[in-house]
Chain A
Amino acid sequence: MATIEQLAIFQITIPLIVAPLVFLLKNGNRAWFLTLVTSVAMMWVASQLLVHVLSVGEFVTQIGGWAAPWGIEYRVDTVNAFVLLIVSGMSSIVLMFARQSVNQEIESNKRSLFYTSWLLCLTGLLGVTITGDAFNVFVFLEISSLSSYVLIAMGRDRRALTSSFQYLVMGTIGATFILIGIGFLFIVTGTLNMADISERLSDTSQTRTVRTAFAFIIVGIGLKLAMFPLHLWLPNAYAYAPSVASAFLAATATKVALYMLLRFIYTVFGFEFSFDLPLSETLVILSSAAILVGSVVAIFQDNLKRLLAYSSVAQIGYMLLGVSLATQAGLSAALLHVFNHAVIKGGLFLVLGCFVFRFGTASLKLLSGKGTQMPWTFAAFIAGGLSLIGVPLTTGFVSKWQLVTAALDIGWWPVALVVLAGSILAIVYVWRAVEVLYFRPVSDDSQIVKEAPLELLLPTWLLIGANIYFGINTELSIGVADVAAHWLMTGTR
């Protein structure tokens, strides 16, 4: 039995090693199976890590036995163990769905390449989360970014290529900004280890170099996070990527970026430094704008994937809003929404995957009236939509409730109003889709399709069911989010 330190290393090395093996398997189905097994194994590892940090406490693993300032160390605490579990879990569930969807949407000679990129992306996302070394963050960020460009570019629509290229340029700028910021920090502190940086910054934090580093890192991560108004790459990338890639990236990539933001704000720069600067004000304005603009634009979208993508922009706004409150309750609400939004958006993108699988399109015009032909898929869409709106007994409600309570705790009632307005706009865009899918007459009577196969429906309903389960039983989600928020605020359990 591997020790917990070894498990932490396996979390990264196994998908990294399996990725080229998957590429060697030319058969798409076998590649898929190996990827799925790896991903599920990583989910198991992540759950072990989370159980360990919850029961025993945080721990540090030094790679290759090199001590911290010179070597790279992996630090596992409640926050990143939570994110590791979300990322590997969402990857596993979406992969269950992936085989049939990928077989339909991607040419057979590219399928193993797709799964290779998937594993590399997973490696990168897990690496960003687990590492305790600032430069290592950049490296893993690039691994995940480069592989996600590939994932997006494999979409059937030729516009996938331009969207992927746009994302590549923007993503690279973002990564560069982060690198510049880390560089500045290295100049000031002479170390790349996050814990060391944090320690040494306390003496030198008032210099302009550190503030510049902070600005570069916030903006750089903001790009990866699709923070308004840096979200412009996201709608096209999600809209034209293969269905499963949209689901995977929507459920994980932005979540990891948010984790990165929290890690830099709270651990590296420290709470006092970060919120002495007008960070709170900046975030509250940008996130409110994200909620309102993202939701309003989502109302007018014809492509359902774009609709969900703009909704994601708004949902990221909710997370940032939680961060901007600068209280433990707000932080906890943000972390909770990281989990809940992963479940909601993952589920909804899988629903769209089902529609695309049968109808070959996610355009509302072409799908008008066709919800009736796939009752289970359509029911999943409604359940997920209710959660997106924030109807009680769904995860969306729990998130918004926590967020509004946290905002009212410190008397920020306009924030509560913004959340409310966002929910009302969400009703409009979800209902508009429901109305077109179900109540409009069928646009053309060309094809009558069957319900999506069970292999697609099961993972979809697994996530939609999780939406309802975690909307009712919040012990696990709120519990871990609270512990993690407490950890970030105080550095103790």
Chain B
Amino acid sequence: MMIWTIDLPPFMPFYLAALLSVFLRGWLRAIVMLAVPVLGGLQLTGLEIGEYNIFALMGFEFSPFRVDRLSILFGYLFHIAAFIGILYSLHVRDTVQQVAALLYAGSALGAVFAGDLITLFVFWEMLAVSSVFLILARNTEAARRASIRYLVFQVLSGVLLLGGALLYFGSTGTLAFNYIGLDSPAGYFILAAFGIKSAFPFVHNWLTDAYPEATPTGTVFLSAFTTKVAVYALARGFPGVEVLVYIGAAMTCFPIFFAVIENNLRRVLAYSMINQIGFMVVGIGIGTELALNGAVAHAFNDVIFKGLLMMSMGAVLHMTGRINGSDLGSLYKSMPWTTAFCMVGAASISAFPLFSGFVSKSMVMSAVLQEDLGLIWLMMLFASAGVFHHAGIKIPYFAFFGHDPGYRPGEAPVNMVLAMGIGAVLCLFIGCYPVFLYDLLPFAVDYTAYDITHVLAQLQILFFSAAAFAWLQLSGIYPPELHSTNLDVDWLYRRFAPNCIKRLGVVVKRYDDAFRNLFISRFNRTLYFLEQQNGSHGVLASGWPIGSMVLWVAILLATCLLLFFI
């Protein structure tokens, strides 16, 4: 393949494959789709640090392919995630979804390798536009509505980013995407843009709203890319910005409560996703080498174990058509593999020793302690217990064990099981050999996850919260899984604001109608007057006798003479 030169930006193979997929069918398309992430990932191994394909356009310098340790780590990650996701969705016969998935993965790669803010913006928007089809493809009324709300948030983020980028260019004279910080107004715009995409509190609802509405396979892609691109962007633009520590700590805690009472198991995972991003944001906010390493490593692991959990829930949804905890249970009998892989994912997200979550989360926790942020540390400890509670126990318990509603759907398709298997193996592998991941991190790692204090502390948390869950469940205090709607911030813009506007609209309409009628009658009268003046018999348009024409000539000549003589 001659085109596949070393400096071809990684998004190009994906975009080309998306184009090819439009025309290909069947196994040929499957081969192309599976080959792209494999070949693309191999290409990355041969790359030197540096910037490729720099070009200038309209006085701006663009750098579409910047390679350093941070971007290449995310490059590997997204290739792995894309491969797993594509394998998982191989049984889908829907060109729109598959093309959208390829474009989406390509855009994520384009964004992490973007060396300037405008390129970043382009892929930022492409992420939004391509991913929305993964939600729309569910083809339900709820999905359509959710996808519009999703798009509004994503585009708002893009607009903020563009505005910020232009301001940044105005104040610094460069578009290069490096440390931005909060020294200028541009920084706040860009932070807001990144914040929306990484689901900061109060702007997180697009995630919990839209992800559970996407197709079973679409959610796997969605969980891998958008928020992780945002985490990457934060890590590059705002490392060590203190406010992120508090934002991140809030993000780790508040979703716990929603996740515990939520019935839709994929929405539970969406909330736990915000909680996991919280750990990364805290790490970025601290900004030490250890903290950044921890944040980035946790992002790497999160993509895999959250993807694994989303895949297992997707498999349940695919096989049974239900996703509410109250409707499910005892599926371990018919879906043993899915159950096992889901348990691996649950153990990883809960940071059990020997599973991947443990080796990265403990880095962030250690970094917090090193900076003497005791309160933050306690919040994160609480969040760790909570995450074990809702993601580690609740998800497997309600889906695969618990009461038996009598579903016997059979095991998921083989491609789904394979994809989940790869994810599970990666979780275990990284958990057992963390050095593999540590070597890829942006800064040199002098850290061992497996010492007595870490392991013991973590095991204590886990066992006590397991005990708490068991006690609450047995004593009947645990909130039962119910069909209910839980109020979150999105109530403000989905119920409160529309109602206010409706009320206000009634009042406005009354005055508006009166004003309109007045205007229309005035307008018609003016039109009538103009028609009188200009219509075919009007003063200005009718044929004039020659005498009058000549009179005008005389008048103009006299005026000119008068003017020129004065």
Chain A interface residues toward B at CB < 8 A: 166, 169-170, 173-174, 177, 208, 211-212, 214-216, 218-219, 222-223, 229-230, 232-233, 235-236, 277-278, 281-282, 293, 296-297, 299-302, 310
Contacts and interface: CB of A to CB of B under 8 A. Distances in A.
Contacts of B553: 170, 173-174, 177, 219, 223, 230
Interface in B537-566: 538, 540-541, 543-544, 546, 548-550, 552-553, 556-557, 559-561, 563-565
Contact of B565 (A170, A208, A222, A300): A208
Nearest 9 Cβ contacts at the A-B interface: A215-B560, A300-B534, A211-B564, A219-B557, A232-B549, A215-B561, A297-B534, A297-B541, A277-B564
A169 B550 contact: yes
A212 B564 CA distance: 8
Given A177-B557, A297-B534, A170 B541 contact: no
B556 A232 contact: no
Give the most central of B535, B541, B559: most A CB within 10 Å: B541
Nearest to B557: A219
Contacts of A281: 563
21 contacts: A169-B549, A170-B550, A170-B553, A173-B553, A177-B557, A208-B565, A211-B561, A212-B564, A215-B560, A219-B553, A222-B556, A232-B548, A232-B552, A236-B543, A296-B540, A297-B538, A297-B540, A300-B531, A300-B534, A300-B538, A301-B536
Contact of B557 (A211, A215, A235, A299): A215
Interface of B: 530-531, 534-536, 538, 540-541, 543-544, 546, 548-550, 552-553, 556-557, 559-561, 563-565
Contact of B549 (A166, A222, A296, A302): A166
A219 B556 contact: yes
B564 A214 contact: yes
Contacts, number: 74
A302 B535 CA distance: 9
A238 to B, nearest CB: 13
Contact of A299 (B534, B552, B559): B534
Given A219-B556, A230-B552, A232-B552, A301 B541 contact: yes
Contacts of B561: 211-212, 215
A216 B536 contact: no
A288 to B, nearest CB: 15
B99 to A, nearest CB: 31
A310 B538 CA distance: 14
Given A230-B556, A235-B541, 17 more contacts: A166-B546, A166-B549, A169-B549, A174-B553, A177-B553, A177-B557, A211-B561, A212-B561, A215-B561, A219-B557, A277-B563, A282-B559, A293-B540, A297-B534, A297-B540, A300-B535, A300-B538
Contacts of A222: 556
B548 to A, nearest CB: 8
A170 B530 contact: no
Contacts of B559: 282
A166 B538 CA distance: 19
A16 to B, nearest CB: 31
Contacts of B541: 235, 297, 300-301, 310
A299 B533 CA distance: 12
B174 to A, nearest CB: 30
A301 to B, nearest CB: 7
Contacts of B543: 236
Contacts of A278: 563-564
A216 to B, nearest CB: 7
B564 A216 contact: no
- Provide the main secondary structure of the chain B interface: helix
- The secondary-structure label for the interface of chain A is helix
Given A169-B550, A230-B552, A232-B549, A218 B560 contact: yes
B535 A211 contact: no
A312 to B, nearest CB: 14
Q: Which of A223, A233, A300, A301 has the most CB of B within 10 A?
A: A300
A166 B552 CA distance: 14
Contacts of B563: 277-278, 281-282
Contacts of A229: 552, 556
Contacts of A223: 553
Nearest to A170: B549
Contact of A300 (B530, B548, B557): B530
Nearest to B561: A215
B560 A282 contact: yes
Contacts of A208: 565
Contacts of B534: 296-297, 299-300
A173 B556 CA distance: 13
Contacts of B546: 166, 169-170
A303 to B, nearest CB: 9
A219 B535 CA distance: 28
Contact of A215 (B531, B548, B564): B564
B438 to A, nearest CB: 56
Nearest to A165: B546
Nearest to B547: A169
B536 A173 contact: no
Contacts of A296: 530, 534, 540
B549 A216 contact: no
A272 to B, nearest CB: 14
Nearest to B543: A236
A212 B565 CA distance: 8
Contacts of B565: 208, 211
Contacts of B549: 166, 169-170, 230, 232-233
Contacts of A277: 563-564
Nearest to A236: B543
Contacts of B550: 169-170, 173
Q: Most B CB atoms within 10 A — which of A236, A277, A293, A297?
A: A297
Nearest to A229: B552
A219 B548 CA distance: 16
A193 to B, nearest CB: 24
A370 to B, nearest CB: 21
Given A214-B564, A215-B557, A219-B560, A232 B544 contact: yes
B106 to A, nearest CB: 31
Contacts of A300: 530-531, 534-536, 538, 541
Contacts of B540: 293, 296-297
A216 B557 contact: yes
A204 B332 CA distance: 111
Nearest to A208: B565
Nearest to B536: A302
A166 B548 CA distance: 11
Contacts of A299: 534
A280 B560 CA distance: 12
Contacts of A293: 540
Contacts of A218: 560
A167 to B, nearest CB: 10
Contacts of B538: 297, 300
A277 B530 CA distance: 36
Nearest to B555: A229
Contacts of A236: 543
